Amino acid sequence: MKSIDALRFLGLDMVDEANSGHPGMVLGAAPMVYQLFAKHMHVDPKHPAWFNRDRFILSAGHGSALLYALLHLSGFDLTIEDLKAFRQVGSKTPGHPEFHDTPGVDATTGPLGQGTAHAVGIAIAESFLRNKFNQPDFSVVDHYTYVLSSDGDLQEGVAMEALALAGHLKLSKLIILMDSNDVQLDGPTLNSTSTDIKKLIESFQFDYQYVEDANDLDALETAIQAAKASDKPSFIEVKSIIGFQSSKAGTSAVHGSPLGKEETERLRGVFDYQEGRFEVAKDVYDDYQVNVIERGQKAHQTWQSLFDRYQKAYPAEAKLVNIIEQKTPSNLAEVLKLKPLEGSEATRTSIGVALEELSAVYPALMGGSADLSGSTKVKGADGPFSKNNRTGRNLNFGVREHAMAAIVNGMNLHHIRGMSGGFFTFSDYMKPSMRLAAIMGLPSLFIFTHDSVAIGEDGPTHQPVEHLAQFRSTPNMQVFRPADANETRLSLRLAVETLNQPSVLVLTRQNLPVVTSPGYDAFKVGGYLLSEVAEPEGILIASGSEVSLALEAQSLLKEQGIHVNVVSMPSLDRFVRQPKAVQEKVLPKEMTKRLAIELGSPGLWYQVSSEVMGLDRFGLSGPDHEILKTLGFTPEKVVERYLKL
């Protein structure tokens, strides 16, 4: 079919032009995306952000050329010139699909497994909003989430975790098509897998269907229709031939290397495709015009009129607009106001309280923990989101940290403010998806407790050391390690107000005295003068649980007639990204006698201090005070270390 072949040849021409890219999937999977877009997807290319559009996630992100060709033909703002600039600096057509870079791209994908897992988060958000806000005759949130997955994609643990949760939650509007071509980069899938896909998918409580030939549009149509009708999430395994009809068809050689213009020319003959390089026939454009663009525009218009009437009929539900527009509560300063300087509290407890208060005013806030909510105190409001309770905002992720992070991102892609909870050391499991949140600039809230070796008995595997450094080193991510309940509340406030990057909150298991009460502007710098003395000779700089330790050391030093200031630095990464002048107000240039103290890898603190008390070893199992004594994190040892400067 010419409309499908147009996808194929635009895709091949792009790969040839760039002399870089993945032609295999372009040839094999073109019919699948055509059928989906021409008959099912509701999108409005002139309004790619239309809230109730169907979502399409290309989890096999290396098939980007196919997606760009599809978006071009479907009327999105992507010209032939854009296609010619495939994989060039500054183009709208980067090597893998990038959210923000290209209209119509619903998520950044490329690292396998991620798109599928993110899609589960999108489907959760849709289901929640549909059940929370729709009214009789006003189905204002009601769309499908489609995924194009692949052999390799499904080998990833994160994909399996996410599918397990999607099946459990019965996300019936999630439909996954698998480009099942039995080939992956290193050769036939048989070299590395014998998994029975049907059994696997059914074990996750998905509806499974099999389509024997990707080119059989009728079979595809029947399967997609059945999937839409199913009350379970659906999975359609579609057998295709990688590099279909090319000389290397069915082999891994066609996965990621350009065919070359000569072979592409030969293929034009095989497919009897008349148009030249980057040329598209009018009847092809016409087909997409009628079947994708106009059908989508009509759906959008129908929805818009429905939504207008909905807003009038249900003014109370107008808060859905706030979610659509990603508005945060305007009274955060009041809701998260500071507490008196008294008592002590674990900052995991502080966040639990703060999240409850926040949830009451922020209906978009939703999330939970990876089977640790009892320990992390991170829970969404209104009971568990489940197949029987679609309006609960607490997600029981199960022991699926990786999928949790991806799902939180997916929810944020759908303007639900997704948050996660876990032990900080298990952030390792989540890193691939957290990185995607930073790349996409999603406002995901990643909350962690059990922030250091001070967690005690659980031992080295549960005690983070290098984790602060790894997230502080990640671009476009902000990390907070608050000193007490008040800095915790400020961290949460700033995190919630930050809409263009993810935030990482790192909290304690153990109690911390309430010792800070900074102004919001000072806090936002990342570090501020917490305790000032007259004529200081030096500075102690600390974060989190070490701030009160620094204050104790300050007192001990004072007894010896030595006067030092204490700077609390809840966000080292925010601080070092400030202009020099701002930094120097907190850490005056001339004040070179500095000691930074943190129960973690020391390396990054040399950015602000010539001496650092940190940890370059793993922790140990024992009561927390014994551990701290063993590792020398006591006020006396801080004094000793300072005196050596």
Strands (E), 408-554: 417-423, 445-449, 478-480, 503-506, 511-513, 528-531, 538-542
45: helix, strand or coil:
coil
Which CB, 453 or 557, lies closer to its own copies? 453
Query: Which position among 372, 437, 490, 507 is part of the footprint of its own copies (CB under 8 A)?
Result: 372
Within residues 7-26, the interface with its own copies by CB under 8 A covers 18, 20-21
Within residues 574-603, the interface with its own copies by CB under 8 A covers 576-577, 601, 603
Within residues 167-226, the interface with its own copies by CB under 8 A covers 167-168, 184-187, 189, 191-200, 202-205
Query: Which position among 320, 447, 615, 638 is part of the footprint of its own copies (CB under 8 A)?
Result: 615
Cα separation, 216 vs 228, in Å, equals 19
The sign one gets for the Cα dihedral 149, 151, 153, 156 is positive
Within residues 446-465, the interface with its own copies by CB under 8 A covers 456-462, 465
Which CB, 130 or 472, lies closer to its own copies? 472
Within residues 283-312, the interface with its own copies by CB under 8 A covers none
DSSP string, 2-36: HHHHHHHHHHHHHHHHHT-S-HHHHHHHHHHHHHH
Which CB, 139 or 634, lies closer to its own copies? 634
Q: Does 382 bind its own copies (CB under 8 A)?
A: no
Q: Does 635 bind its own copies (CB under 8 A)?
A: no
One character per residue 311-350, x = contact with its own copies (rule: CB under 8 A): ----------------------------------------
- What SS3 string covers 141-187? CCCCEEEEEEHHHHHCHHHHHHHHHHHHCCCCCEEEEEEECCEECCE
C-beta separation of 124 from 168 below 8 A = no
Q: Is position 356 annotated as part of the catalytic site?
A: no
- What SS3 string covers 609-643? CCEEECCCCCCCCCCHHHHHHHHCCCHHHHHHHHH
Within residues 66-95, the interface with its own copies by CB under 8 A covers 87-91, 94-95
Size of the site for its own copies (CB under 8 A): 112
Which CB, 328 or 444, lies closer to its own copies? 444
Within residues 99-128, the interface with its own copies by CB under 8 A covers 108-113
Cα separation, 448 vs 592, in Å, equals 33
Q: Does 374 bind its own copies (CB under 8 A)?
A: yes
Nearest to 2 by CA among 281, 235, 367: 281
Give the H/E segment covering residue 282.
helix 282-288
Which CB, 5 or 573, lies closer to its own copies? 573
Query: Which position among 4, 43, 66, 160 is part of the footprint of its own copies (CB under 8 A)?
Result: 160
**Minimum distance, C-beta of residue 58 to its own copies, in the bound complex (Å):** 12
Which CB, 130 or 435, lies closer to its own copies? 435
**Minimum distance, C-beta of residue 26 to its own copies, in the bound complex (Å):** 16
Active-site hit among 237, 401, 487, 598: 401
Point out which span in 264-272, 357-365, 467-475, 490-498 binds its own copies (CB under 8 A).
Answer: 467-475
Angle among Cα 621, 624, 629 to the nearest 5 degrees reads 95
Take residue 613 and report the two structure tokens written for it: 């008390």
Nearest to 607 by CA among 583, 639, 633, 643: 583
Point out which span in 32-40, 133-141, 434-442, 555-563 binds its own copies (CB under 8 A).
Answer: 434-442
Give the H/E segment covering residue 406.
helix 401-413
Which CB, 45 or 456, lies closer to its own copies? 456
Within 10 angstroms of residue 248's Cβ, the number of other Cβ atoms is 16
Take residue 527 and report the two structure tokens written for it: 């570090």
Cα separation, 476 vs 435, in Å, equals 9
Q: Please identify every residue annotated as catalytic.
A: 401
